[in-house]
Each structure stands twice: as C-alpha cells, then as structure tokens.
C-alpha cells in the first residue's frame, strides 16, 4: 500500500529536497500532485480530492530525517 509512492520519493529524494525543501509533498503513483507548507493542509486537501488511502504525504527532508521516526514509551518491561 503506497509502496510505489514511497519508492518514487526515495528514488528522487535528492532532487526533490533541492526543489521543495521542508515542504510536504502529496504523491500519487510517480507524480507529485501537491506541495504544502504543513501536513494538515496536505491531509485535508488529499482527503477531500482523492479519499483516504489514495495518496502519500511525505515531508521533504534530506537523508533519513523524513523517513525515520522514533517513538518513546513510558512502559518498562
């Protein structure tokens, strides 16, 4: 699900970061269909125009900054 879109971003990340630094890209297939200043604007536009699950919103940052997230939990095992 959205593998094609994520692969497109990774394959073109260097060029996209130069062209759209720190923007949120809305991607369908191998096309950028929107460029936004914030995640919520991209989400609302995509939901309205295309429906959920049809597009990828990707923060356009260099390296792994935009593709890796760390989540912390207060649970101790």
Q: Would you say residue 23 lies in a domain? A: yes
Contact 50, 28 (CB under 8 A): yes
- Dist CA 8 CA 73 (whole Å): 32
Overall average pLDDT of the 56-61 stretch: 95
Q: Would you say residue 77 lies in a domain? A: no
Tell me the whole-structure pTM to 2 decimals. Answer: 0.84
Q: Would you say residue 8 lies in a domain? A: yes
Share of the chain above pLDDT 90, in %: 79
Angle 19-60-72 (CA atoms, 0-180°, nearest 5)?
Answer: 165
Predicted local distance difference test score (pLDDT) of residue 69 = 61
Tally of domains in the chain: 1
Overall average pLDDT of the 16-40 stretch: 97
- Write out the residue range of the structural domain in which residue 39 sits: 3-66
């Amino acid at each position: 699900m959205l593998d094609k879109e994520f692969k497109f971003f990774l394959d073109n990340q260097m060029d996209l970061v130069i062209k759209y630094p720190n923007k949120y890209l809305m991607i369908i297939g191998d096309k950028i269909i929107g460029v936004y200043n914030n995640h919520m604007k991209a989400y609302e536009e995509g939901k309205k125009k295309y429906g959920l699950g049809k597009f990828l919103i990707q923060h356009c940052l260099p390296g792994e900054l935009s593709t890796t997230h760390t989540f912390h939990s207060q649970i101790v095992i």
